[in-house]
Structure 1
Amino acid sequence: MDKTDLKTTLLQQMQNKFQTMSDQIIGRIDDMSSHIDDLEKNIADLMTQARVEELEGENKIPATQKS
């Protein structure tokens, strides 16, 4: 194998490794994005639930004590 072939082979191997790492990073970003979407939905649900419970709590105060 001459130097040109060796350089070509090494460059191809480096490109393959770079592509593999890039694909892995993109896959992880997609996974994290999905987890973030789930967390945002859960937070929104919890905030809605807290507001409902707060309103229900306000409705349980006797009318004479309401301001």
Structure 2
Amino acid sequence: MTESNSKAAKELTEIMEATMQNLHSKFQSRSDQIVSKMDDMGTRIDDLEKNVADLMTQAGMDEQQTSK
């Protein structure tokens, strides 16, 4: 390999490494956002289930289901 080819290969490698690092950082950021939103959604679903159970108890539906 000539010196200019070696230099071009080195520059291309550096550009690719920087690009891959940039993509990795963006992917990690998006992944963290998704996990955070899923955790938040899980908490909201738990709260909703508790509220529905409380409403069913207040409406007396709890006793009807357990007696069946």
- Normalising by the smaller structure, the TM-score range is 0.7 to 0.9
Count of aligned pairs between the two proteins:
60
Which structure has more RCO (C-alpha within 8 Å, separation ≥ 6)?
2
Unmatched 5+ stretches in structure 2: 62-66
What RMSD over aligned residues (CA atoms) do the two structures have, in Å? 1.6
Deviating beyond 4 angstroms after TM superposition, the runs of 4 or more aligned structure 1 residues are none
- Kindly provide the CA deviation profile for residues 1-56 of structure 1, in whole angstroms up to 9, marking residues without a partner as x: 71101000001000100000010000000000000000000000000000000000
Tell me the residue number matched to 2:14: 12
With structure 2 as the length reference, what TM-score do the two structures score?
Answer: 0.83
Q: How does 1:1-67 map to 2 (within 5 A)?
A: 2-58=4-60
TM superposition score normalised by structure 1: 0.84
Residue identity matched to 2:24: S
